[in-house]
Structure 1
Amino acid sequence: MDTHTPASHEVKLSLQTDLTPAQAEILDNGAQQFLEKLVQRFASRVPQLLAARETRQAAIDAGTLPDFLPETAEIRNSEWKIQNIPTDLQDRRVEITGPVDRKMVINALNADVKVFMADFEDSFAPAWNEVLDGQRNLRDAVNGTIDYTNPENGKHYQLNDDPAVLICRVRGLHLPEKHLLWQGEAIPGCLFDFALYFYHNYQQLLAKGSGPYFYLPKLQAHQEAAWWSEVFSFTEDEFGLPRGTIKATVLIETLPAVFEMDEILYSLKEHIVGLNCGRWDYIFSYIKTLRNHPDRILPDRQVVTMEKPFLNAYSRLLVKTCHRRGAFAMGGMAAFIPSKDPERNEWVLNKIQTDKLLEANNGHDGTWVAHPGLASTAMAVFDGVLGERSNQLDISRSEDAPITAAELLAPCDGERTEDGMRHNIRVAVQYIEAWISGNGCVPIYGLMEDAATAEISRASIWQWIKHGKTLSNGQMVTKALFEQMLKEEMDVVKQEVGEARFAAGRYDEAAVLMSRLTTSDELVNFLTVPGYEYLS
């Protein structure tokens, strides 16, 4: 394969910080030139795509409920298939997800899974040094040279002979990369993540029979998928690669996107291999999208499980839509982590089995776990259902009754409790504290929390305040009640983590940000946007 060497020219991207020699190796001139071409051609359309989201949201706020699009009915009603699924993505029965720090990358690739989704998004806080370290770690993993020695105990980590397939999840369209400016504006973080991972790894990946594979988060409309398809096609042309070399899996983790799954598949049909049930973000998006609708307010997040009608309908529609088009339908995340307490651990494993069996029986081709200790449990469930098959593309669900907008938007029963509200506050504050300190993936109360679960926590309370909802004990949820509970729960957190950890951390800043997000008149779209201001 020929090495691609772009014609040399002065890079007009403006770097806002000095690079160490190791960073300059990752953000070298060739990578910067390629990134600049992408930014020059595609960055200006990102604000337009984000503005279109706001226009659609304004209509929903005014009373129009989301629905399938009449203008794209022909795409939904006609017969077509996606282009193809590469050999090494034919079996994705269990995937592990996690951030891109060096030890995590090694452990995840060595886990009893088929795929590792290396994450620059929801389980990652995109501080500059960590972003570049992550790209270096993935490059070394692709080259097979990654290793790590724990400085405290000398334990050495290196890749097994047969590591999992690597997929890179880039940042969402809404997240900027403030360390690189184009015409005075921060560039889209997603283009930065995509450019560096592709540029440094595509040749080595293709040489070993894999390819440049991506997960695309937070899409809300098929126009956003079409934008990504253009980015991929331009890149393939730029590097002399056949159309469809770059492959993507799209997370259906926003409520608007569930009504455009056919259209998203169609817009990316040369490059897409499947859709994924990003259920935690989907729950957050349900709250955010329907924030003005008092009849669709969710209960405590602990009771919003996949058995709830609106979530079960989403899972089944995703399977039916994907398999009709020859695409994979990936299940959601098990956020539990193993426990050292045998009784608690048995409970966790039972929850995993129940959850994964529901997904497998719905026809999903695979599922996600957040911890290597749960991989074998999830694997056993899917092994049992799949039998000799590599996937479940043969499960069409074509006999199912059509799933309606009413089912996808169905109100969810369950209580709003004081315990639930207090738990939400503690989880959100602890997660925000970790995130603004540079850690986006945090074990809290037996769950591996990422940005999505913190988003649910603060958005739920915001919506309860907005609509004057009462808790099961009769208390009305107000800003004053929230502020009182926040103060009380900060004392609980201080007790739980210890005075020294609390004093050394950024808990007070996290509480201020939590308060700002929860009591604002307008619901802030993503906590990671104001949170990014805290990162270096």
Structure 2
Amino acid sequence: MCDSHGTPKIRGTMHERYAEILTPEALAFVAKLDGVFAGRRAELLAARRERAREISAGADLDFLPDTEHIRSDAGWQVAAPAPGLERRRCELVAPANRKMAVHALNSDADVWLADLEDSTAPSWDNIIGGQLNLFDAVRGNLTYLAADGAEHAASSQHPTIMMRPRGWHLCEKHISVDGRPISASLVDFGLYFFHNAQRLIENGAGPYFYLPKIESHKEAALWNDVFILAQNQLGIPQGTIRATTLIETLTAAFEMDEILYELRDHSAGLNAGRWDYIFSYVRTFAQRGPEFVLPDRDKVTMTTPFMRAYTDLLVDTCHQRGAHAIGGPAAVNPTRQDEEKRHRALAIVRAEKEREAADGFDGCWAAHTAVIETCQEAYASILGSKPDQRDVRRAVNATAYDLVSLHGTVQTISLEGVRTNVSVALRYLAAWIGGRGAVAIDNLMEDAATVEISRAQLWQWIHHNSQLAEGPQVTRELVERIIDEQMAGLTRGLDDTTSARYQGAREVLTEVALGDYLPGFFTPYAYVRFLIDRPLRMSGPLDPEDLRQSEHVQSVSHAHSAA
């Protein structure tokens, strides 16, 4: 089936049933993808870094002049919705662990976004265990044993499954080719597609995906070529794969037409990934002037002008091209609040989702099963019996200035905002080091994006000596004192194992928020320090090149066709 492109080597521990996923044939398929696309991936990641340097040096973001013909051509459309994706009013995003998978498949969501990315801590067990759970789910064999001994099974009538692989910037250290860690994106996509694509088609749906952390249409084009090659290799008709692209980076917001165009035969629309988008705004302009400094993160909402411009443009772009526009997550976790607070939380969700639907979105995300009904009702109040509102068009004229401007935004930073960023980051990171990627904190379901916003804001505030509403400036010394205070409170009375996780969380936060250099993401460093199997962990001081080993491709491929 596959030509030889280097022999993949499993470096992670083989546990029960792992051999069902890590078969020689599946690994050869992944190696084929790596052999064709690893060099191009490395080039695009290098281009990301170069563009980031240019923006930091003062280059302005704007719509691309050399793709204006794509934006101005009203004649092209993306493919019609695929089977099982006609209605997407509420999509539940949840990790692919066994318990959450059963709950997701028994829910009233239209789609289960089985997440191997931000809501999964990417340990070897979580990644391959997640693949096993998806393997069983697709075949109707998914069950889990509850603490009380009761066995729960997934319903035969369940939401459509979409899978989110890890982003292009991440590697999988437990599988190598020619001694080089392999792309995490290709591992996640390749194993899932190889084992499940045909069965999903037989079940009446297909292999559907969410694409995270895209920063340009060229990265979308790379995914499209991966899809073409994968379908060719397994004899699956072209266009069977469908993928929704998360617009969660600032640069991608300027290339939404182009991203849809590159993926048009495989596109399932765009999603407004708001938390990551806010993080991307901070990261993109972290070294620019104070005019780009955001206030406390809870003050940046979907009605903040630059966020409003981005979402309005996303909906208009999607509907012009016949694509679904999917809104952001309802992150409230109302299950452990008293009844009055629970109803108040659900009322907030309802108002948010009604506004979203009124703005033209075709559906939204939910981060907890407890809010699915509210999301469904909110969208029904606007859409009625229609499956979507792709026929709705509004006059939108979002300029490049609108997409980046903080005009009218009160840029107030408070001491409580600094404390919140430190506290939430430490709590999430401690759970992440312990293997959990979806964490309930202060009645919100948080994922990795929460840490990214929090630590990037801390770095930016320190870099610009931003002044607090209370008077003092934000300095490294101030943040370190707050970390000390938070650590003392958070670790009081904990056992040694949990305390050690908090110490690891402090190490990660110090590395990615308090140094001279702002890393693109916290995950590469934290992954090699804490989540990979112990014999493979990197020790001692690490520099960025240590974290880019998967990009050290001996012979960079320039073959941009997957035929």
Instruction: Name the TM-score class by shorter chain.
Output: over 0.9
After superposition, give the CA deviation of every residue in 1:305-336 in whole Å (9 maximum; x if it has no partner).
Answer: 11111111111100000010011000001111
1:251 alignment partner, SS class? strand
Pick closer, same or farther for the CA change 1:32–1:297 going to 2, 3 Å.
Answer: same
Q: 2:161·2:208 contact (CA, 8 Å) conserved in 1?
A: yes
Segment of structure 1 superposing worse, 15-24 or 526-535: 15-24
**Aligned residue among 275, 279, 282 for 2:274:** 279
Which residue pairs with 1:373 in the alignment? 370
Which residue pairs with 1:522 in the alignment? 517
Which residue pairs with 1:304 in the alignment? 300
**Aligned residue among 383, 386, 393 for 1:396:** 393
Q: Percent identity?
A: 43
Within a 5 Å distance, the mapping from 1:10-409 to structure 2 comes to 12-79=7-74, 80-150=76-146, 152-293=147-288, 294-338=290-334, 339-397=336-394, 399-400=395-396, 402-409=397-404
Which residue pairs with 2:555 in the alignment? none
Cα drift, residue 64 of structure 1: 1.4
Supply the RMSD in Å over aligned alpha carbons.
1.4
Cα drift, residue 156 of structure 1: 2.0
Unpaired stretches in structure 1, ≥5 consecutive residues: 1-5
Q: 2:2·2:233 contact (CA, 8 Å) conserved in 1?
A: no
TM-score normalised by structure 1 residue count:
0.96
How far apart, CA to CA, are the structure 1 residues paired with 2:2 and 2:277?
43
Q: 1:494·1:502 contact (CA, 8 Å) conserved in 2?
A: no
After superposition, give the CA deviation of every residue in 1:225-272 in whole Å (9 maximum; x if it has no partner).
Answer: 000000000111111222101110000000000000000000111111
Give the residue type in structure 2 aligned to 1:15: I
Higher relative contact order (CA 8 A, sep 6+): 2
Pick closer, same or farther for the CA change 1:77–1:490 going to 2, 3 Å.
Answer: same
1:431 aligns with 2:428: yes
Give the residue type in structure 2 aligned to 1:308: T
1:499 alignment partner, SS class? coil
Cα drift, residue 88 of structure 1: 1.2
How far apart, CA to CA, are the structure 2 residues paired with 1:462 and 1:179?
31
How far apart, CA to CA, are the structure 2 residues paired with 1:94 and 1:503?
35
How far apart, CA to CA, are the structure 2 residues paired with 1:413 and 1:13?
53
Residue correspondences, number = 526
Q: 1:170·1:193 contact (CA, 8 Å) conserved in 2?
A: yes
Q: 2:2·2:32 contact (CA, 8 Å) conserved in 1?
A: no
Give the residue type in structure 2 aligned to 1:259: F
1:506 alignment partner, SS class? helix
After superposition, give the CA deviation of every residue in 1:117-162 in whole Å (9 maximum; x if it has no partner).
Answer: 0001000011112211100100100101101112x31122111231
Pick closer, same or farther for the CA change 1:247–1:502 going to 2, 3 Å.
Answer: same
How far apart, CA to CA, are the structure 1 residues paired with 2:79 and 2:219?
19
How far apart, CA to CA, are the structure 2 residues paired with 1:470 and 1:501?
38
2:389 alignment partner, SS class? coil
Q: 1:357·1:381 contact (CA, 8 Å) conserved in 2?
A: yes
Cα drift, residue 351 of structure 1: 1.4
How far apart, CA to CA, are the structure 2 residues paired with 1:17 and 1:428?
28
How far apart, CA to CA, are the structure 1 residues paired with 2:323 and 2:316?
10
Give the residue type in structure 1 aligned to 2:474: V
Give the residue type in structure 2 aligned to 1:68: F
Pick closer, same or farther for the CA change 1:327–1:503 going to 2, 3 Å.
Answer: closer
Q: 1:11·1:32 contact (CA, 8 Å) conserved in 2?
A: no
After superposition, give the CA deviation of every residue in 1:5-32 in whole Å (9 maximum; x if it has no partner).
Answer: x269797112213423511111111101
How far apart, CA to CA, are the structure 2 residues paired with 1:389 and 1:15?
48
Cα drift, residue 38 of structure 1: 0.6
Segment of structure 1 superposing worse, 333-342 or 118-127: 333-342
Give the residue type in structure 2 aligned to 1:164: P
Segment of structure 1 superposing worse, 435-444 or 367-376: 435-444
1:256 alignment partner, SS class? helix
1:214 alignment partner, SS class? strand
How far apart, CA to CA, are the structure 1 residues paired with 2:283 and 2:12?
35
After superposition, give the CA deviation of every residue in 1:383-411 in whole Å (9 maximum; x if it has no partner).
Answer: 111112000101111x23x1111111011
Q: Which runs of 4+ in 1 moved over 6 A?
A: 7-11
Pick closer, same or farther for the CA change 1:115–1:82 going to 2, 3 Å.
Answer: same
Segment of structure 1 superposing worse, 154-163 or 95-104: 154-163
How far apart, CA to CA, are the structure 2 residues paired with 1:349 and 1:18?
43
Give the residue type in structure 1 aligned to 2:379: F
Pick closer, same or farther for the CA change 1:42–1:491 going to 2, 3 Å.
Answer: same
Q: 2:491·2:499 contact (CA, 8 Å) conserved in 1?
A: no
Q: 1:276·1:331 contact (CA, 8 Å) conserved in 2?
A: yes
How far apart, CA to CA, are the structure 2 residues paired with 1:368 and 1:113?
9
